[in-house]
A and B are shown apart, each in its own frame.
Chain A
């Protein structure tokens, strides 16, 4: 049996069902509206597992599901050395969102990451603590800023309404997901030049560490041509 994990609700679930449906594989929820159970028609041996999109990276890493659909941002943020743990099978072409760095629009002296770094140094001297960047994407943001050589900042956790943290004086800048940028503008924030951390979209991932014996690998052999995909290296 091959376990396929997909988002359990909302637009992401619908678009996932449509993507598989367009390739002849019908995914459907079964039972009542409220029951998280599902079925797959069109390929023998695939079991549907409905999960929160945020938990799919963890389930893939643990090998409790063989395949999973979730955002590329979540996989990169939640999993250390993600390419060793999961393989990207396909970009699904929906769920687009950009993880970006934004600063107050009034910071006319800060256009680039260079400027952010210099402003952070001056901020620390003036205020006695490191410039705070509010985000829920800790790994992605930290690795990006480390790679870009930005120092003298600190990350503060923000699980929602992140655009409001600057006005509320709990952060000086933010790193968050945006699709149109409207919420940023409404909150007087501006995206930095070079501040695109990750262009996210929904992807189909395979778990490298799952148990591929007991038929799962054979099911994948049947499934991949149906989806128009090839087996990635090392899986």
Chain B
């Protein structure tokens, strides 16, 4: 059923050649990556998903779970922009559950680092990948995390509440629980109510020995933040309703755009991001993408690794049990995080294809044709 590794490799090389032809410079990345950077970026979730190993001299290392981080690091260290890179090789993901998903597979990817005309760069990456996969008749979906972040940023409430919501955009259940709390829809939990009562009564003093790194000042500053939050009015029902309408939006791209433009009249904060979507769809159409057939899902990409902060996309086969054949997006903030020290950053967008899946889908198409 699954094609052998040689076929996956041949398909990967073919796709890599297409990426080179599109103007990308081929780059390599070490299989062993320092764990620290990845852990700092992704948190504990990556430890559950990546193979961690110990090097006697270099400490904790991970078998590369993706190429994006090493490619960004390489670019930030010595790259000049604009730049286009492509790469091909195995990535390694521990599977926490028994099942058919493989712990190692090939990825072939294409990344664009460019300061101007983000919509054009987004369209370039998507059109290139979608074009290569066109013969397989797959379903593509797009989204835009930037619109969601702008909507949260535009809420009329405490900065602390907005920061808490922004942190949890990638954890939908947690995000909506917080929104219900801040919107006054969910009751204050009993333990929190008790604490607030003690703060109000001035009896929430530190009554135990101070141990650990977290200082008394940090504890008191959070007590003050809790009191400020308790005193602030809930987020208006109308604002919560608009936010929920935005997050639930799923429609063919042209219809989604006009509904987003309607929403932007009531949520002016999202207007620039929605205008960016309009320009991106135009740029895609210019590159021959059938935009009308594209599904836009506002919450697309919310359950993936949290570094995308703009355009996101995936291309999937009909079988929902299969992982995406291709996925990608824009990650402007990642370059700032990994380019630290110099405080440098550069807008970037990219995507990967799984050549092993492409090979097996091609094989089943051929079998049908016979």
Binding site for B on A (CB under 8 A): 80-81, 84-85, 104-112, 114-115, 117-119, 121-123, 126-127, 129-130, 138-139, 142, 145-146, 148-149, 151-155, 166-167, 169, 171-172, 188, 190, 193-194
Q: Residue of A at shortest CB range from B203?
A: A108
A151-B219 in contact (CB<8A): no
B191-A193 in contact (CB<8A): yes
Cα–Cα distance between A122 and B214 once the two chains are bound (Å)? 10
Cα–Cα distance between A108 and B214 once the two chains are bound (Å)? 12
Point out the residues of chain A lying under 8 angstroms from B219, CB to CB: 106-109
A80-B177 in contact (CB<8A): no
Cα–Cα distance between A145 and B48 once the two chains are bound (Å)? 12
Number of A-B contacts (CB under 8 A): 118
Are A108 and B192 CB-contacts (below 8 A) given A166-B212, A188-B208, A188-B211?
no
Cα–Cα distance between A172 and B210 once the two chains are bound (Å)? 12
Total chain B interface residues with beta-carbon distance under 8 A: 42
B96-A118 in contact (CB<8A): no
Point out the residues of chain A lying under 8 angstroms from B98, CB to CB: 80-81, 84-85
A153-B189 in contact (CB<8A): no
B96-A80 in contact (CB<8A): yes
Cα–Cα distance between A169 and B211 once the two chains are bound (Å)? 8
Q: Residue of A at shortest CB range from B204?
A: A108
Across the interface, B212 reaches (CB within 8 A) one of A108, A109, A139, A167, namely A167
Cα–Cα distance between A121 and B205 once the two chains are bound (Å)? 22
A-facing mask of B193-204, CB < 8 A → 1, else 0? 011001000001
B213-A154 in contact (CB<8A): no
Point out the residues of chain B lying under 8 angstroms from A154, CB to CB: 39, 43-44
Cα–Cα distance between A145 and B43 once the two chains are bound (Å)? 12
Across the interface, A80 reaches (CB within 8 A) one of B97, B205, B216, namely B97
Decide if the interface of chain B is mainly helix, strand, loop or mixed.
Answer: helix
Cα–Cα distance between A130 and B46 once the two chains are bound (Å)? 14
Point out the residues of chain B lying under 8 angstroms from A149, CB to CB: 168, 171, 173-174, 177
Point out the residues of chain A lying under 8 angstroms from B195, CB to CB: 108-109, 111, 115
Cα–Cα distance between A73 and B121 once the two chains are bound (Å)? 50
Point out the residues of chain A lying under 8 angstroms from B48, CB to CB: 139, 142, 146
A104-B212 in contact (CB<8A): yes
B71 CB-CB contact with A under 8 Å: no
Q: Residue of A at shortest CB range from B175?
A: A149
Are A106 and B39 CB-contacts (below 8 A) given A111-B192, A111-B194, A121-B164?
no
Pick 8 A–B contacts, CB within 8 A, sort by A.
Answer: A104-B212, A105-B208, A109-B223, A114-B189, A115-B192, A142-B45, A149-B168, A188-B209
Across the interface, A142 reaches (CB within 8 A) one of B44, B204, B221, B222, namely B44
Q: Residue of A at shortest CB range from B48?
A: A142
Q: How far is the CB of B233 from chain A (nearest CB, A)?
A: 20
Are A123 and B192 CB-contacts (below 8 A) given A106-B206, A106-B208?
no
